[in-house]
Structure 1
Amino acid sequence: MKAKQWVLKKQFQGNPKSSDVGIKEISLPNLKDGEVMIECLAISVDPYQRLFVKNAKPGDVMYGEQVAKVIESKNADYPVGAHVTTFAGWTTHAVVPGDKLVKVPEYPPDVPIGLALGLLGMTGLTAYYGLLKVGELKEGETVYVNAAAGAVGTVVGQLAKLKGCKVIGSAGSDDKVKYLKTELGFDEAFNYKTIPDMPTFEQTLKRLAPKGIDVFFENVGGLAFRAVLDQMNVDGRVALCGAISSYNSTDKFTPSIPSIGEPMTMKGLRITGFTGWAYSAKDKNNDGLKEMIKWVQEDKLKYPGHNFKGFENCFKAFLSLFTGDNIGKVLVTI
């Protein structure tokens, strides 16, 4: 069996370029006991993959999760035809040991299998654990989420509304702002690109959250981080999910977050960095996933996204994450 793979040619310097990566074809080995051969159905592209490249070397397969179908098996737990998720990277086929696979549960007939990489996968669970476990959200509180039209942000806003909270989001276009309010039920949203400076940003938050912010779901980083902290209430919580504004920076010692000591100490704020993977591993009964599936079945959660069709478009899809062209989850369907 032949497989096509996207591999790193050289380390990204600043913004990723097409010359940094390439596609190669390999022959897969025969299966050993406990292994399966998978055929990719869809690949997830996510901002965090930019961070993994920093530790990769030329020739490495681009890191990422995919949902796949088992096409050959020497593992009784994963028979031919089973659907699985695995971090096999950007590859059309792969040989994977059983302990690196997660079986996709049976979805209702009208739920697409790609949700295993989005709303019902680590994207949705990152929003779930970050908001409800890290943020310890309580009914009636006010939530602010940036990158609100992104894969995680769209879920954060919907979950907060389900929990009876006021939700404010920021996004990078007027169309995205409209979508957040009319389609996803955000109480308030604004286009951060129309705000000229930090004082105006602070005034915007004061106007939209006159009673202050209780939970800040942080995806971006940058100067606005401090402006949000200044609008937070005493004992506020920050779920630090990401800092996409600095992912393409070539200087890790240039601060992307200004001084935060004063609001943290004076208000007793708690800032917690986290990953969805870590919290999912602690959820032995998959309570988070079960609750998310229930909400999908009850039609309480929408799952906006953009599909790039064709394996050859993986890198194009990846670049779209940093230009703000999409709403919701970005997938490549094979």
Structure 2
Amino acid sequence: MATSTISTQIQLVNRPVGWPTHADFRTVTVDLPELAAGQIRVANEFISVDPYMRGRMNDAKSYVPPFVLGETMGGGAVGRVVASADDAFAVGDVVTHGYGWRDLVQEDSAGFRVVPELPGISLSAYLGVLGMTALTAYVGLLEIAKLKEGDTVFVSGAAGAVGSMVGQIARLKGAKRVIGSAGSAEKVALLTSKYGFDAAFNYKDGAIKDQLAAAAPEGIDVYFDNVGGEHLEAALASFNDGGRAALCGAISLYNSTDTPVGPTNMMNIVTRGLTLTGFTLGNYWNHLPAFTAEMTAWLTAGQIVFDETVVDGVDNTIDAFLGLMRGENTGKMVVRTGELVPAL
């Protein structure tokens, strides 16, 4: 079991304008003190990089406070307890937490959650298919968009961590047709060959509105939006009466320095009786038990598949995040922080 007390951490030092760069971050090493009562020390095995983090780099009011300059980047992570001053946490326990971009973390135990190890499944799954990513898909599709059996579903950014889960959950819950967009021919092929989408298209190949109309000639009932912009306008054009959208993200706009232009066909919301609902996961944690039960069953039965893009080394976390912003990931992007800590 690891005994080091030196923690390598990535901190935000500038508010990015447009695309973030390495100059907006710094890497520091911290010598952790002796454990205080009620604290635990955890060697992270995987840390998460996610699109929402770009928004938190801005000093703007949002659903969560912005990252503080000069402090270590927060975010999801999973690792093993290597030292404990709380009897509820044993050395070797696997825990998830939100302390983010560091290889070794020491905090009050209240900030950690013990999770079970599943045979043959990497602990990184707790950052994706068994974690916040897939829970976002589950809540957005079922609670926000209120998927009904027989619906036609369109997912933008469908080869990403959230999108790939949305499509598979829709199929398992009885959608009639599931359509996805992605940014390369390889990702488009993956959607139909591995994730069970009925149709998919490359949004770079032509007008999204036209490609969606061709893929959904009978229209769509549900839209799960990860991208915004032209994708949202295309969905508004294809909606059937009474359609519902779960607005989860707008990655196409996150690094733009121009004033965004909204869809030109917003009147469709009125004439077709559409419902567009934005959401953030923090208001829906009450769905975690139901999600955990269903997703664990689907995963262990082989009914859900997932991909990860793994970047090695905590020092490469910034590169992983920038790669995520450029769409270089298939499925969940995670950073493997170093040598994995063996189970006891």
TM-score normalised to the size of structure 2?
0.91
* Unmatched runs of 5 consecutive residues or more in structure 1: none
Deviation at 1:256, TM superposition (A): 4.3
Deviation at 1:321, TM superposition (A): 1.0
- Determine whether 1:239 maps to 2:246: yes
Q: How many residues align?
A: 325
Match of 2:333 in 1: 330
Match of 1:186 in 2: 197
Distance (whole Å) between structure 1 residues aligned to residue 72 and residue 265 of structure 2: 38
* Unmatched runs of 5 consecutive residues or more in structure 2: 59-65, 338-344
- Determine whether 1:270 maps to 2:256: no
CA contact (8 A) 2:38 2:85 kept: yes
CA contact (8 A) 1:35 1:95 kept: yes
Distance (whole Å) between structure 1 residues aligned to residue 46 and residue 224 of structure 2: 28
DSSP-derived class of the 2:295 partner: helix
CA contact (8 A) 2:219 2:238 kept: yes
- Determine whether 1:74 maps to 2:79: no
Match of 2:32 in 1: 28
Distance (whole Å) between structure 2 residues aligned to residue 76 and residue 266 of structure 1: 60
Match of 1:216 in 2: 223
Distance (whole Å) between structure 2 residues aligned to residue 260 and residue 205 of structure 1: 15
Distance (whole Å) between structure 1 residues aligned to residue 268 and residue 116 of structure 2: 44
DSSP-derived class of the 1:205 partner: helix
CA contact (8 A) 1:43 1:331 kept: yes
Match of 2:169 in 1: 159
Distance (whole Å) between structure 2 residues aligned to residue 312 and residue 150 of structure 1: 23
Q: How does 1:72-111 map to 2 (within 5 A)?
A: 72-107=83-118, 109-111=119-121
Q: CA RMSD in A?
A: 1.4
TM-score normalised to the size of structure 1?
0.94
Identity %: 42
- Deviations along 1:230-256, one digit per CA (max 9) or x if unpaired, are 2101111101110111111235xx234
Match of 1:295 in 2: 298
- Deviations along 1:73-96, one digit per CA (max 9) or x if unpaired, are 111222111111111120111112
Deviation at 1:194, TM superposition (A): 1.0
- Deviations along 1:282-301, one digit per CA (max 9) or x if unpaired, are 236x0111100000011001
Question: What residue identity is the alignment partner of 1:247?
Answer: Y
Match of 2:182 in 1: 171
Distance (whole Å) between structure 2 residues aligned to residue 257 and residue 80 of structure 1: 52
Shift of the 260–34 alpha-carbon distance from structure 1 to 2, 3 Å rule, reads: farther
Distance (whole Å) between structure 2 residues aligned to residue 256 and residue 296 of structure 1: 40
